[in-house]
Structure 1
């Protein structure tokens, strides 16, 4: 059984749109690729057919993952969030004490994570370490680059 995925309405809609696209356009394109490869003759030595079947497997895997994520999704309204602690969908300003730099991240589910947009997964090392923390708390977190010491400076929506 999958765990609950907390999403914004925007994140839910994005996943739903991707699923709809993959089920319609994606499947149609893969079927056309397979038919075209099949028409080229002997399937036992047909690299195009093998590639198309592999692509079909990846597509169906992604569809299954999206269906599972949406089935276990809970859409949260940011107006209802308690800002006394770092929670999913809150934006937290942290001070990296190692380098003296402030950073701002929004904690989201893995499906909505986008580091370039400042959205980190609650399943990431930093996300896990920050969950449940209050303003003023300092936490140490182990990341691939080493150990970070982070202080929670602000929590907002």
Structure 2
């Protein structure tokens, strides 16, 4: 993992605090609660046919995965605002409007950022594309009026043009 390219995760102070609080809960009270469920289920007898035991172990696995995700995100977090950069240039943390070149009436507006961060902030209404996604990586650094291309999952090339770029303010 040391050789893996890891991008900075831009977090507001509120999102950082929420992630930290969730991590502390999961590592403390959350782990204790799951451990207690496993112990209660173990006391019921035969583990091979004990659905409660298997459910508690699955819950434990999901919780440990979430702990690792939060630890990684917080380890690479930069708290504050994303660098302003050029006001009309696409960068993480921007709200971007594009149109598809094969149908200029078909536009999409989305945040170029992290779904995880939007969920932490309690906002699941905004469409989000990761900067590492095919579309996200194609438009990073592009300016209003520029065109970018990326490949759809079926391999078909898709061309888009940047219509608007603005900082996302929530």
- TM-score per shorter chain, which class? 0.7 to 0.9
Cα pair distance change 1:4/1:76, threshold 3 Å: farther
Alpha-carbon separation, structure 2, partners of 1:97 and 1:14: 40
Alpha-carbon separation, structure 2, partners of 1:143 and 1:14: 34
TM-score when scaled to structure 1?
0.83
The worse-fitting range, judged by mean Cα deviation, of 106-115 and 137-146 is 106-115
Aligned to 1:61: 65
| One of 68, 88, 94 as aligned partner of 2:92 | 88
1:156 aligns with 2:156: no
Aligned to 2:116: 111
Aligned to 1:129: 138
| One of 34, 46, 49 as aligned partner of 2:50 | 46
| One of 3, 7, 11 as aligned partner of 2:10 | 7
Aligned to 2:149: 140
Aligned to 1:23: 27
What are structure 1's unaligned runs of at least 5 residues? none
Per-residue displacement from partner, 1:57-116 (whole Å, max 9, x unpaired)?
Answer: 2211210221111011112415x4112421110111211222322221211136336784
Checking the alignment, whether the CA contact within 8 Å between 1:7 and 1:73 is kept in structure 2 is yes
TM-score when scaled to structure 2?
0.78
Aligned residues: 156
Checking the alignment, whether the CA contact within 8 Å between 1:92 and 1:152 is kept in structure 2 is yes
Checking the alignment, whether the CA contact within 8 Å between 1:4 and 1:74 is kept in structure 2 is no
Checking the alignment, whether the CA contact within 8 Å between 2:11 and 2:77 is kept in structure 1 is no
Per-residue displacement from partner, 1:34-63 (whole Å, max 9, x unpaired)?
Answer: 121011013344332233223212211210
What are structure 2's unaligned runs of at least 5 residues? none
